[in-house]
Amino acid sequence: MDLYEYQARELLAEQGIPTPDAIFAQNSHEVAQAADRIGYPCVIKAQVKIGHRGQAGGVKLVHDRDEAILEAERILPMTIHGHKVSGVLVAEAKNILHEYYVSISVDRSSRDFDVLATANGGTEVEQIAREHPEAVKRLHIGALGEFDIDAARRMAESIGFYHADVEQAAQILLKMWHCFRDNDATLVEINPLAKIGDPDDESSKSLCALDAKISLDGNAAFRHDGWARFDDPVQADPFERQASEHGLHYVHLHGEVGVIGNGAGLVMSSLDAVSGAGEEQGTGVRPANFLDIGGGASVEVMRHSLEIVLSDPQVESVFINVYGGITSCEQVARGILEALDELGGAKPLVVRFDGNAAAEGLRILAASSNPNVHVCETMEQAAQLAARLAAEAKEARA
């Protein structure tokens, strides 16, 4: 789960990492109030879960109230790289003397934590890595060893922080690590970690996190009260929300064929098969969602899944693809019929079963003689049929 900058900076501040004063605002009236409180000049920053906002015109320095309102009215309706702006952060402007880059992320190949850092920050780290690969340091924090202040000091020195900044950089590295570890993050990135202050006054200079990007490990949500405080009321998809309330792995894709399967790999192949069928048939029909019912799915799980998928008004047909392992196809079949009993409706379902209790499952479906339930032997055939039925239903409606 990715956080907005305004949420990420809260987690940094909780660890005692210096961040500029800032207020999140969602309309120009709130922006004006926030800017008056923060003081001028201040920075108006688009809140979107994507980087390169500065280059896209989503970060602007303003010098008075009128300018703040003008920029708010320009930035709030923006869509940056396909992401609708959710609001803006009104942040205290700092005088930047130098920009560093530091991130901590999970390194799957070395099974530990990657610290990526450069003392030549400022531009995007990808660009620095391309043009000056020697300037980008890649260090590691062991998964089992202790990362303490001494280790952080050694790391700060090897990254190449200026002498005057080494001690403060070490403190920030250590706090970043605590932020990463305590929040079950997969990424904590500060870019820029800026040296700020008055160039002529040595004592005014300090390091400050001017931008923050944090991703949390969704599998650890249960240890953090489901991260309710990071709920996104603006962008939340009602179907995704309902699915997560039932503990289902659902992603809304906005096509016409609902897809339900067990196991992420099987569901993804099913999505491909549906997209391929839609293209082949020349209808452009596409999957409406990803929904993985997981292993050992019960009647209950199947019922909730169908409820959610069928409540999507864009859905014209549903492809159910289950390879019974722990999951019994018999249970899935019962769930399908119970759901249809409860939900009524007349959208066609195409079912493909294989593996554990597939024959029993198919027998139960056949015995119901429900005209909306179709059975196919292979995944390809089922995807083709589901795509064709969806296109026909759409056509009939048009």
Catalytic-residue membership of 162: no
Within 8 A by CB and 6+ apart from 34, the residues are 23, 24, 25, 90
**Alpha helix (H) residue ranges in the chain:** 5-14, 28-38, 65-75, 125-131, 149-159, 166-182, 238-245, 264-280, 299-310, 329-343, 358-368, 379-397
Place of tokens 């956080």: 3
Q: For residue 54, which of 19, 15, 99, 112 has the smallest C-alpha distance?
A: 99
Q: Smallest Cα–Cα separation from 192: which of 172, 164, 174, 178? A: 172
Q: Cβ distance 153 to 170 under 8 Å?
A: yes
Using CB under 5 A as the binding rule, whether residue 189 contacts Mn ion is answered as: no
From the list 10, 71, 165, 211, which residue makes contact with ligand GDP (rule: CB under 6 A)? 211
145 a known binding residue?
A: no
**Contact at 8 Å (CB) between 257 and 390?**
yes
Range in contact with Mn ion (rule: CB under 5 A) among 19-27, 208-216, 232-240, 321-329: 208-216
Is 75 annotated for ligand binding? no
Closest alpha carbon to 161 in 206, 213, 124: 206
CB of 81 to ligand GDP, least distance (A): 10
Residue from 71, 99, 165, 211 touching Mn ion (CB under 5 A): that is 211
Q: Which is nearer to Mn ion, 31 or 212 (CB)?
A: 212
**49 is an annotated ligand-binding site residue:** no
Out of 29, 52, 63, 154, the only residue in the binding site for ligand GDP (CB under 6 A) is 52
Told to check if 165 binds Mn ion by CB under 5 A, we report no
Residues contacting ligand GDP: total by CB under 6 A: 14
Q: Does 54 bind ligand GDP (CB under 6 A)?
A: yes
Q: Is 138 helix (H, G, I), strand (E, B) or coil?
A: strand
Count of residues engaged in binding Mn ion, rule: CB under 5 A: 2
Cβ proximity to ligand GDP, 80 vs 333, nearer residue = 80
327 annotated as a binding-site residue: yes
4 as an active site residue: the answer is: no
Which residue among the candidates 6, 101, 250, 323 is catalytic per the annotation?
101
At its nearest, how many Å lie between ligand GDP and the CB of residue 48?
Answer: 8
Q: Does 186 help bind Mn ion (rule: CB under 5 A)? A: no
Reading the block at residue 338, the tokens are 């119970």
Is 262 annotated among the ligand-binding residues? yes
Paired tokens of 117 = 């850092």
| 387 vs 389: CA distance, rounded Å | 6
The number of residues in the chain equals 398
The answer to whether the annotation marks 326 as part of a ligand binding site is: yes
> According to CB under 6 A, which residues from 83 to 142 bind ligand GDP?
93-94, 96
Q: Report the nearest approach of ligand GDP to the CB of residue 177 (Å).
A: 21
CB 317 within 8 A of CB 348: yes
Residue in 22, 35, 59, 358 binding ligand GDP, rule: CB under 6 A = 59
Q: Could you tell me the CA-to-CA distances from 268 to 57, 262, 381 in Å, in that order? A: 36, 10, 16
Annotated binding-site residue? 198: no
Tell me whether residue 369 is exposed, middle or buried, using C-beta atoms within 10 angstroms of its C-beta: 0 to 12, 13 to 18, 19 or more: exposed
Min CB(218)–ligand GDP separation in Å: 23
- Interface residue with ligand GDP, options 6, 7, 44, 51 (CB under 6 A): 51
256 contact choice in Mn ion, ligand GDP, none (CB below 5 to 8 Å, kind-dependent): none
Element (H, E) at 186: strand 185-196
| Active-site annotation, residues | 101, 189
Query: Which residue ranges make up the annotated binding site?
Result: 45, 94, 99, 191, 211, 262, 325-327
| Footprint on this chain of Mn ion (rule: CB under 5 A) | 191, 211
| Footprint on this chain of ligand GDP (rule: CB under 6 A) | 43, 45, 51-54, 59, 93-94, 96, 191-192, 210-211
